[in-house]
Structure 1
Amino acid sequence: MKKRIGSLILIMIMVLQMGVTVFANDENALPEGVTKTEINPSDIPEGIVPMEFSTQEEADAYVREAFKEIPSTPPAVTRATNGDAFIDSHAFGAGGVISLRLSYTTSGNGNTGTITRHEPYTIVSGMNFSYDWQESSRGSSIQPGGKDVYAYANGTLQLYAHTSVGDWNIYAIPVNLSGIAYIIR
């Protein structure tokens, strides 16, 4: 009987330790959707300066903060015949932003008439010297009623990192931007 109780206690201790270990590892996991790929220095695009870290753990910790989801500001109603509207954005790193914007034209003055042209585009701004934006798709369409335009852009944001122990990595996260520009009122 004492052997059984001792065995049960030993099994419970082992299960509890495994549970704690799994929980601790989850805290250090990369954000959902982020992938990490080892690369050669020759794979780094021209103009990209990899971010330097002392250890791989330090690089992973930075990525957990840099790729956090930050809510974007909703688009404002636009008021010009030829205009440019903010649609959506994705913030990253220390002040970097990918913005989806829409260039448009209407047939009347002061946002009247019909929408005659709508062209979405993305801009990367802020602190982004170690990052690369790879846009994979972009488009727009006039919504039913003909007064608003839906726009989207999808792609991958990549961070190039180098550690002092010689590791070269790309951290990548998919970015999907979309929204509606309210043009004719």
Structure 2
Amino acid sequence: MTMIKKITSLVLLLTFFCTGTALASGQDSVTTDDLKVISKKEIPSNVTPVSFKSDEEAVAYLNQVFNNINVQTNFDILTRATNGNTTVATTKVSTGTISLKLRYTTSGNGNTGTITSLDPYTTFTGFTLGFGWTENSIGATITSSRKDVYVYTDGTIDYYLLIDGLLKLYSRPISMSGTVSVIR
């Protein structure tokens, strides 16, 4: 058994034990029509496609993965430092995690004063074999109370597949948002 097949088997096994809620209501199941043929140069350098014997095998795997996406949004997070970095929301995809984070500073000590800077960003960590994350938009807005920050992102999770010698891509949109209490 090759290393790729062993890793694929491990990912499949771990995926079957993952539970969670669907990302968005009304999201259709993956079909073979959703798989787009791509060239080798379209695959990011940090992504290794996962090999399947057939489109049907790949679709069954993708449906298992995407039907078990776990979205966790941490609303009204209280930050703990004047210069901080906090996780606002996370989305678990198979054995990887996309995190929406916020770096911030305030003008006073102990989270007092005014918000002086905001820097939202995302990370994609974990065992991400075959997956790629593309952040399409991200932002942070100070709410009308001038104490809280609304943070949001939209992006695309891509899954790169090698099916019977052909490179294919499946993509699905991901959205995350949340509110962080910065000033007390």
Q: Smaller-chain TM-score range?
A: 0.7 to 0.9
Query: 2:80 maps to which residue?
Result: 79
TM-score norm. by structure 2 comes to 0.77
**Is the 1:162–1:168 Cα contact (8 Å) retained in structure 2?**
yes
Q: Gaps (5+ residues) in structure 2? A: 1-27
Percent identity reads 39
Kindly name which structure, 1 or 2, has the bigger radius of gyration based on alpha carbons: 1
Deviations 1:104-157 (A, max 9, x none): 001111111111111100011001131111111111110011100011111111
TM-score norm. by structure 1 comes to 0.77
User: What aligned pairs does 1:98-177 form with structure 2 within 5 A after superposition?
Assistant: 98-163=98-163, 165-177=164-176
For 1:142 and 1:35, the matched residues in 2 are separated by 38
**Is the 1:90–1:99 Cα contact (8 Å) retained in structure 2?**
yes
Say which SS state the counterpart of residue 60 (structure 1) adopts.
Answer: helix
- What RMSD over aligned residues (CA atoms) do the two structures have, in Å? 1.9
Matched, 1:65 2:42: no
- Give the paired residue count: 154
Q: Gaps (5+ residues) in structure 1? A: 1-27
Query: 1:89 maps to which residue?
Result: 90
Deviations 1:12-40 (A, max 9, x none): xxxxxxxxxxxxxxxx9418xx9421112
Query: 1:5 maps to which residue?
Result: none
Shift of 1:73: 4.5
**Which 4+ stretches in 1 moved above 4 angstroms?**
none
